[in-house]
Copies of this chain bind each other. A is one copy, B any other.
Amino acid sequence: MNILDRQEQIANAFKGIHENILAEFKQHEKEENIIDDHWEKHGLGTGHSVIIDDGEFFGKAGINFSNIKGEKLPASSVGSINKSSGLPYFATGVSVVFHPKNPNIPTSHLNIRYFCTYKNNEVFEEWFGGGFDLTPYVLDEDDCRDWHQSAKNACDTLGKEYFELFKKNCDEYFFLPHRKEHRGIGGIFYEKQTFKNTAEGLNFSQQVAIAFTEAYKKIITKHKNTEYSDEDTKFQRFRRGRYVEFNLVYDRGTLFGLQSGGRIESILMSLPNAVEWHYKFDSKLTDKQEKLYEALKNPINWIDNV
């Protein structure tokens, strides 16, 4: 198969996953609040960004598919100088962030992506990356266990050793050193993952997306009617500041997007619509909030704790 046909086939696999996620989550929001944006950026690629901004159910949501090519792979995308750095590349993937209005429903994030570089018109290296993680504002331990169990089920399709490895990656990656805090209660994260063949990688990407969708649906259903106060919203907006701090200071995906001249609106769709920064706001926490902070300090083996 020639390079372009192969790229299209891979992109189509991710496009299909994107459409499944859309079908599942669009139903929670009023049609009129959903922005459906097919875009093309010259010299970069194409994409399909579906955004909810100041919606009824979602404060902000972004469900993005992208399909990009570049002449020179920037160093940030591979973490460090690497043999593929500087080569032409192809990348496609799906990136999802949900910030529901109700503070009882955590923010969630999913990313699955395919990357390859070319040398002499042949694939030189290819790898997959992705994962999903959960950022609660109110800690619900059952939710955390279910979330990690879903992640484990997806990983087990690859082999028994993967969940522990990918969970550890996630705990290490979504960490804010300046706050000595994790972004949330984790999930899984993998980078530069190679597979037996491309099909196996695509299949795993799909398993991850399904696990995310099922787990998050369950959480939404459980909490969507839970009442909350203005104080709960204020605390949620304050905690969303940490989400912004992570994404702008540490997230390699964001850095790669900014460096590679990516489409800013799609890269920064992950940022919540309403965020507050307050001085020492968390120096006095309620018992419930204290429990959340404890869980963000040291990663927990949620499934072993059952």
List chain A positions with a Cβ less than 8 A from chain B: 35, 49, 51, 53-54, 60, 62, 177-179, 241, 244-245, 248-249, 258, 264-265, 268-269, 271-280
Rounded to whole Å, the gap between the CB of A206 and the closest CB of chain B is 27
| Given A272-B277, A273-B276, A274-B276, 9 further pairs, Cβ under 8 A | A35-B279, A35-B280, A49-B279, A51-B279, A54-B278, A178-B264, A244-B248, A245-B248, A265-B280
Could you list 24 A-B pairs, sorted by A, with CB under 8 Å? A35-B279, A35-B280, A49-B279, A51-B279, A53-B278, A53-B279, A54-B278, A177-B258, A178-B258, A178-B264, A179-B264, A244-B248, A245-B248, A245-B268, A248-B249, A265-B279, A265-B280, A268-B277, A269-B279, A273-B276, A274-B274, A274-B275, A274-B276, A275-B277
Count identical subunits in the complex. Answer: 2
Rounded to whole Å, the gap between the CB of A183 and the closest CB of chain B is 14
Name the one of B54, B258, B273, B280 contacting A249, with C-beta atoms under 8 angstroms: B258
Q: Could you tell me the dominant secondary structure of chain A's interface residues?
A: mixed
Chain B hits for A60, CB < 8 A:
277
A210-B124 Cα distance, complex, nearest whole Å: 60
Chain B hits for A241, CB < 8 A:
271
A268-B280 Cα distance, complex, nearest whole Å: 11
Chain B hits for A279, CB < 8 A:
35, 49, 51, 53, 62, 265, 269
Chain B hits for A276, CB < 8 A:
273-275
A52-B274 Cα distance, complex, nearest whole Å: 20
